[in-house]
């Protein structure tokens, strides 16, 4: 319906994100906070106070591997991985814990919907030097710290 | 010296790879077998019989993060990650263990020289569904299996 399409086109970024979020695996909703939509990906902050950590979920139906994206989509994805790295650094600074190393991972062994992790690491973090995936249990953010991290990440991502 | 430059330009791919390999962190030499050089990356097969696993090392001095590459280099890198995925699938088939999921990781917490892992996973593998990094000790390949995996990966990569 043309009217609906027009409304969608005019919806603010936050509402578009929530609309698309209905296509997300519930596992993402349970473990992360929406940041908004980039050109290709829906971006979320992982709700784990141990690391500044952004999850990028390409808004492409049924994609499970990088192979399922077009070359143009993969190019955009690479740009958004870079942007997420800057945002993770900004969130780390906002939390008073400067990021010393970025880790990027595309696994999907547990949650098959294609997604990428961009994680800010420090030699004094919980899992260093190992990977964060599958390491211990997430730690809840204090509400004020979560707000600071989300705000810093959004500014860095232009959301 | 022009003569040396000419020799380098005419050297077969294998020798070029060995030449560039002198710039590699020794950790790579100890844990993987050279496959050869792609447009951007030096490619190696991880010497771990538990998973078909390729390591891509961009031939860019002092790079530690994706941010240290130019946009053109990152575009090439994305193409080579895709190619490495195909090669990992080919190696899995050559070993009689079809790859069911690809995992891609850029960590560098232990070995800082920029490198990417492309790993073929199966629900019956040693670390499933967790990440392979830091999980147990590598298992040596039988020489004949290593040869088969290297040959299959090279063909898939056009090396």
pTM reported for the whole predicted model = 0.89
For residue B138, the tally of other CB atoms under 10 A from its CB is 15
pLDDT at B49: 98
User: Which chain B residue shows the shortest CA-CA distance from A67?
Assistant: B82
pLDDT tens for each residue of A75-105? 999 999 999 999 999 999 999 999 999 999 9
Q: What is the ipTM of this complex?
A: 0.88
Q: Return the pLDDT at A11.
A: 43
Residues of B in contact with A105 (CB under 8 A): 103-107, 131
Distance CA A36, CA A38 (A): 7
Burial code (b: 16+ CB inside 10 Å, e: under 16) for A91-124 equals bbbbbebebebbbbbbbbbebebbbbbbbbbbee
Domains and CATH numbers, chain A: 2-157 (3.30.428.10)
Orientation angle between helical segments B143-157 and B71-94, nearest 10 degrees:
140
Inter-chain CB proximity B104 and A101 less than 8 Å: no
CB contact under 8 A, B103 and A107: yes
CB nearest B65 (choices: A77, A102, A109): A102
Is the pLDDT score of A134 beyond 90? yes
**Residues whose CB is less than 8 angstroms from the CB of residue A119 and which lie 6 or more positions away in sequence, other chains included:** A46, A51, A52, A53, A54, A88, A102, A103, A104, A105, A132
Contact A82 B66 (CB under 8 A): yes
Between CA A53 and CA A61, with CA A149 as vertex, the angle to 5 degrees is 50
- Average pLDDT value over all residues in chain A: 90
Would you state the pLDDT for residue A70?
A: 98
pLDDT band of B18, cuts 50, 70, 90 = low
How many residues are listed for chain A in this entry? 159
Note whether A27 contacts B: Cβ–Cβ < 8 A: no
Return the closest-CA partner of residue A45 out of A94, A110, A78. A94
pLDDT in tens, A106-121: 999 999 999 999 999 9
| Distance in angstroms (rounded) separating the CA atoms of residues A159 and A151 | 9
β-partners of residue A149 are none
Phi-psi region of A78 (alpha: psi -120 to 50; beta: other; left: phi over 0): alpha
Split at pLDDT 50, 70, 90, the class of B11 is very low
> What contacts A126, CB < 8 A, 6 or more positions away?
A50, A51, A132, A135, A136
Mean pLDDT calculated for residue range B51-78: 97
Asked whether residue B5 carries a pLDDT value surpassing 90, the answer given is no
pLDDT of B156 > 50? The answer is: yes
- The arithmetic mean of pLDDT across residues A42-61, rounded, is 97
Is residue B58 very low, low, confident or very high in pLDDT (cuts 50, 70, 90)?
very high
B138 — contact with chain A (CB < 8 Å)?
A: no
3-state secondary structure of B43: strand
């Amino acid at each position: 319906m043309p009217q609906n399409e027009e409304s969608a086109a005019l919806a603010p970024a936050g509402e578009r994100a929530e609309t698309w979020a209905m296509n997300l695996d519930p596992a993402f909703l349970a473990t992360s906070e929406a940041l908004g939509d980039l050109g290709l990906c829906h971006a979320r902050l992982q709700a784990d106070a141990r690391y500044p950590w952004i999850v990028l979920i390409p808004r492409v139906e049924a994609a499970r591997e990088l192979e399922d994206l077009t070359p143009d989509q993969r190019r955009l994805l690479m740009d958004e991985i870079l942007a997420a790295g800057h945002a993770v650094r900004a969130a780390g600074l906002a939390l008073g814990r400067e990021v010393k190393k970025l880790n990027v991972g595309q696994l999907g062994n547990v949650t098959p919907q294609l997604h990428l992790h961009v994680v800010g690491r420090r030699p004094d973090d919980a899992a260093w030097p190992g990977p964060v995936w599958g390491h211990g249990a997430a730690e809840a953010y204090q509400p004020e710290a979560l707000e600071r991290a989300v705000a810093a990440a959004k500014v860095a991502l232009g959301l």
